Amino acid sequence: MSELLSVTVDDRQVEVPKGTGLVEAAQAAGIEIPVFCYEPRLGPPVGACRMCLVEIEGMPKLQAGCTLTVADGMAIKTSATSAKAAEGQEATLEFILVNHPLDCPVCDKGGECPLQDLTFRYGPGNTRMSFSKLTFDKPIPVSPLIALDRERCILCYRCTRFSEDVAEDGQLIARNRGAHTEIATFEDEPYRSPFSGNVVELCPVGALTSTLYRFDARPWEIQNVPTVCTGCAVGCNTSATIREGKVKRILSRNHPEIDRGWLCDKGRFSYPHLRAEDRITSPLRRGRKGLEATSWDEALDEAETMLRESRGSIVTAFSGSETIEIAYALGRLLRGGLDAHSAVLPEATSDALEAFRMPLSAIGEAGLVVVVGDDPVVERAPIVDLWIKEARRRDAEIVVYSPTGSETTAPGAGAEICRELASGKSRVANALRGAERAVLVWSGPGGGGGARIAELAHALGFADKPGCGAFHLPAASNPRGVALAWAVAADADETNPEPIELLIVSGDDAASNPDVRALAELANRVLVVTMFHELAGGWADLILPATAALERDGTSMNLEGRVQRLRRAVPPPCPDELAWISKLAARFDVGLAPHAMGVFAEVGEHLFKDLTPEDLGPHAPLPARHAYVAPEPATTPAPVEDGVEGLRLHRYRPLFSGPAVERVPELGFQRPDRDVELSVADAEARGIANGDVVLVSSNGTSAELRARVNRKLVAGVARIADEHAGDLHPSVQVVKA
């Protein structure tokens, strides 16, 4: 506990810990010091806007309250008791309004605008400015997602500080100097950063607005529904803004341990997929002339028949983004009612990690972060990337073992690295062993990553070090929750049905997964639950419409192992999964509640004994660590054959991919370019320069891509985003086209 200091704010005395800022100290006294530029999440205060001027006893000049921390006995006077401070704040607002257009009636921010509010409270009654204001023609497209109305900008530099000091993307900048200063990007290039949307929320005026939300709603006509993002396994806390039954935008709901109020653009901007053109709202059945619409009653009859005829020989392919309740309900129906115990998930997960649990925010305070795995953290769990950056800014050492990391490794080397670190000869291994605050992260596919990183943490003795922990970044948002719910739905071992009579494909991610498609080739019949026609139109025998996460009530377990509550932001355009699963289940004498909280009560009995939905609260708590249970040992992966002169194809799944992202044209520019990344050595050996068009080929298939020489990439591989790698085989030739 740090030392308490006593300070007076206006007429009130408060005690606050040493190091507390004046703004927070005043808050503790129930007094507002108004701010614009001050935002502690952006780093140290900059004192730019001068909104926070206060008088401090013993100091002749007004002080920018945001830049100071308390001293014992300090007497602070805000505008409430100091005429000088009041004059200072009025002066600042007058200067701010000199160039501000006051177009509040047509501004998206109107009604929820700090400038509007503070002007009302502290501002001058009228304007003394008689010269023409700066105006600009039209909103400038900072990107397809963000518009900039320059004349509204008050130059608080929140947006540029976010870009430079939080996302560290170096894209959104202040250009020029003095009165000519303006927010800009380079040339006309879009602000391309996985986190760009945060600047819209940070902007205290209507200068940066979301193109998807512009002119769509006014603050007094909307409702905000608190829910949780399922774009990845971080589980950021969000608010969905609803108007007339439609989701209009997604805002952050700041869970300080998880997301600190940041969202990635996938989570923030992919909601328009709810209204995608190929969205399915009623069941479809394969008839003589292909897929035909059918009624729910007929569809359920059909499903019942399929299930009865396939009894036992059913495989369920999960997306890993289902709610715990959906997974449990499917488990009860299929396992309890039909003895169908076989399921596939996109990636293995591991419960062993529960022994090394910690909040994500602990990464920001770590002294050493070691990342293992093929994928950049940002592609799998973007907010984790921000926490790691935060740690680095606080002088933590960050070591990344990956094909593009600080320690370059060949793809697929993660398990081996973990073994090496555990046996402890290298400098990093020693540092890990000695560290009081160290975090391990597995960021990549395959290799049973969760288990491997847990074994390493165990070998390092992390279970007994509260400052040390380990995370696995899975490819889906709720794979642990799904696996656990499926596991407790019945008590029997998994079987491997051969042949597969029926493949049940649960959700869009499963439906778009090539491995699942391959499985479908082996199955007699396929039942697909999906939102989008395009995903299953060609190969499903029966399609049942799915709901989106924003249309679901239920729970989800994030990568920390924290169970969080999803709330239905808008009603789905069709009966939801739990509604029809419970009906089907009844036909097999399995009783299931048709709503999430009913199912939660049942599944919670098995999984979360002491947890009620209320405990999940607005901000769910992190469960305590469990004792370590050794995971299944590693199976040696089949060695990848290297081509004689070829390069190894290194596919990766970019953050901006998947069925939802693909359905939002405005997100298109965030998706990876048609690039193949090559190491400097491999490019030079082939006479390839950055930007050259090259032909990547293997066994008869080929793709024309643009070469990007990546100085960080390990030699011997060709790195290509999944969506551009098509059917290429693991060994490829790359030549200049």
Partner 1 sequence: MNDAQIQRLRKQYPDPLSAVMPALRIAQEQNGGWLSPDTIREVADALELTPAYCLSIASFYDQYRLEPVGRRVVEVCTNVPCALAGAQQVVEAFERELEVTAGSTREDGEYTLGTIECLGGCGWATVVAIDNRHRLRVTADDVPGIVKELRGA
Partner 2 sequence: MPEHPQIVFAGTDGGAVLDIDRYRAAGGFSALAKTRAMAPDDVIAELEASGLRGRGGAFFPTGRKWAFVPKPEALPKPHYLVVNADESEPGSFKDREIMLRVPFRFLEGCLIAAHGIQSQHVFVYIRGEYEREFEILRDSLEAVRKDDLLGGVTVVVHRGAGAYICGEETALLESLEGKRGQPRTKPPFPAIAGLYAAPTAVNNVESITTVTSVFELGAAEYAKLGVENSTGTRVFSLSGDVANPGNYELPHGISMRELVYDIGGGIANGRELKAVIPGGSSTSVLTADDIDVKMDFTSLVEAGSSIGSAGVIVIDDRCCMVQLGIRVSQFYEHESCGKCTPCRVGTKWVTQILEKIEDGRAAQADLDLLLSVCDRIMGKCLCPLGDSDAIAVLSYVDRFREEFQAHIDLGRCPFDGESSLEGILAPSAMHASQGHEAAHV
CB nearer partner 1, residue 166 or residue 725: 166
Report the SS3 class of residue 400.
strand
Q: Determine the straight-line distance between the first and last CA of the chain, rounded to whole angstroms.
A: 65
Does 156 bind ligand SF4 (CB under 6 A)? Our answer is yes
Q: Which amino acid is at 473?
A: L
Task: Indicate whether 177 belongs to the interface with partner 2 (CB under 8 A).
Answer: yes
On whether the CB atoms of residues 327 and 486 are closer than 8 A, the answer is: yes
Nearest CA-CA partner of 251 in 236, 240, 260, 265: 240
Q: Report the distance separating Cα 438 and Cα 718, nearest Å.
A: 32
Residues 314 and 504: beta-carbon distance below 8 Å: yes
Name residues whose C-beta falls within 8 Å of residue 508's C-beta, 6 or more positions apart in sequence.
319, 530, 531, 532, 535, 546, 658, 659, 660
Q: Which does 52 bind (CB under 5 to 8 A by kind): partner 2, ligand SF4, ligand FES, none?
A: ligand FES
The span from the CA of 310 to the CA of 313, in Å, is: 5
Closest residue to ligand FES, judged by C-beta, is 66
**Cβ proximity to ligand FES, 36 vs 318, nearer residue:** 36
The count of residues interacting with ligand FES (CB under 6 A) is: 12
Binding mask 51-70 for ligand FES (x = CB under 6 A): xx-----------x-x----
Is 328 exposed, middle or buried, given 0-12, 13-18 or 19+ CB atoms closer than 10 A?
buried
Q: Are 171 and 238 in contact (CB under 8 A)?
A: no
Segment 30-89, which members bind partner 2 (CB under 8 A)? Answer: 45-50, 53, 61-62, 64, 67, 87-88
Residue of the chain from 14, 31, 42, 48 that contacts ligand FES (CB under 6 A): 48
The reply on whether position 667 binds ligand SF4 by CB under 6 A is no
- Piece in contact with ligand SF4 (CB under 6 A), picked from 198-206, 254-262, 283-291, 538-546: 198-206
The kind and range of the H/E element at 419 are: helix 414-423
| Sites of contact with partner 1 (CB under 8 A) | 160, 164, 169-177, 184-187, 189
The least distance separating ligand SF4 from the CB of residue 47, rounded to whole angstroms, comes to 14
- Give residue 99's Cα distance to chain centre: 37
Interaction of residue 94 with partner 2, rule CB under 8 A: yes
Structure tokens that stand for 554 in this block? 């239920």
Q: Which does 157 bind (CB under 5 to 8 A by kind): ligand FES, partner 1, ligand SF4, none?
A: ligand SF4
Q: Which does 38 bind (CB under 5 to 8 A by kind): ligand FES, ligand SF4, partner 1, none?
A: ligand FES
- What is the C-alpha to C-alpha distance for residues 410 and 426, in angstroms, rounded to an integer? 18
Token digits of residue 589 = 């004498």
- Alpha-carbon span 204 to 10, nearest angstrom: 26
- Determine contact, residues 233/478, Cβ cutoff 8 Å: yes
Position 147 contacts ligand SF4 (CB under 6 A): no
| Nearer CB in complex with ligand FES: 46/720 | 46
Nearer to ligand SF4, 95 or 628 (CB): 95
Task: Tell whether residue 272 is a contact of ligand FES (CB under 6 A).
Answer: no
Shortest Å, Cβ 693 to partner 2: 33
Interface characters, 107-146, with ligand SF4 (x: CB under 6 A) = ----------------------------------------
The pair of three-digit structure tokens given for residue 665, joined into one six-digit string: 């044209």
Name which of ligand FES, ligand SF4, partner 1, none residue 54 binds, using a CB cut-off of 5 to 8 Å depending on partner kind. Answer: none
Based on the shown chain and the rule CB under 6 A, indicate whether residue 208 belongs to the binding site for ligand SF4: yes
Q: Enumerate residues 505-564 that contact partner 2 by CB under 8 A.
A: none
* Rounded CA separation 79/731 (Å): 70
Q: Does 158 bind ligand SF4 (CB under 6 A)?
A: yes
Task: Give the total residue count for the chain.
Answer: 737
Of the pair 102, 398, the CB lying nearest partner 1 is at 398
Q: Closest separation between CB of residue 172 and partner 1, Å? A: 7
Beta 208-210 vs 146-148: how paired, if at all?
antiparallel
Which candidate, 512, 525, 529, 506, places its Cα nearest to that of 280? 529
- Position among 12, 18, 121, 175 found at the interface with partner 2 (CB under 8 A): 175
36 binding ligand FES? (CB under 6 A): yes
Amino acid at 415: A
> Measured between alpha carbons, how far is residue 514 from residues 278, 372, 511, 520 in Å?
20, 25, 8, 10
What is the nearest approach in angstroms of ligand FES to the Cβ of residue 45? 6
Which of the choices ligand SF4, partner 2, partner 1, none does residue 202 contact, using the CB cut-off of 5 to 8 A by kind?
Answer: ligand SF4
Which residue, 146 or 718, has its beta carbon nearer to ligand SF4?
146
Name the residue among 53, 65, 74, 51 with its Cα closest to residue 21.
65
Among 16, 22, 29, 37, binds ligand FES (CB under 6 A): 37
Q: How far is CA 283 from CA 316, 413, 511, 530, in A?
A: 19, 44, 16, 10
Is residue 203 within the footprint of ligand SF4 (CB under 6 A)?
yes
Does residue 48 touch ligand SF4 according to CB under 6 A?
A: no
**The pair of three-digit structure tokens given for residue 150, joined into one six-digit string:** 């320059």
Task: Classify strands 731-736 and 693-698 as parallel, antiparallel or unpaired.
Answer: antiparallel
Nearer Cβ to ligand FES, position 166 or 377?
A: 166
Neighbours of 1 (CB within 10 A): 4
Binding residue (CB under 8 A) for partner 2 from 117, 182, 351, 407: 182
Interacting residue ranges for ligand SF4, rule: CB under 6 A: 153-159, 183, 202-205, 207-208
Interacting residue ranges for partner 2, rule: CB under 8 A: 45-50, 53, 61-62, 64, 67, 87-88, 91-92, 94-96, 98-99, 128-129, 131-136, 154-155, 157, 174-182
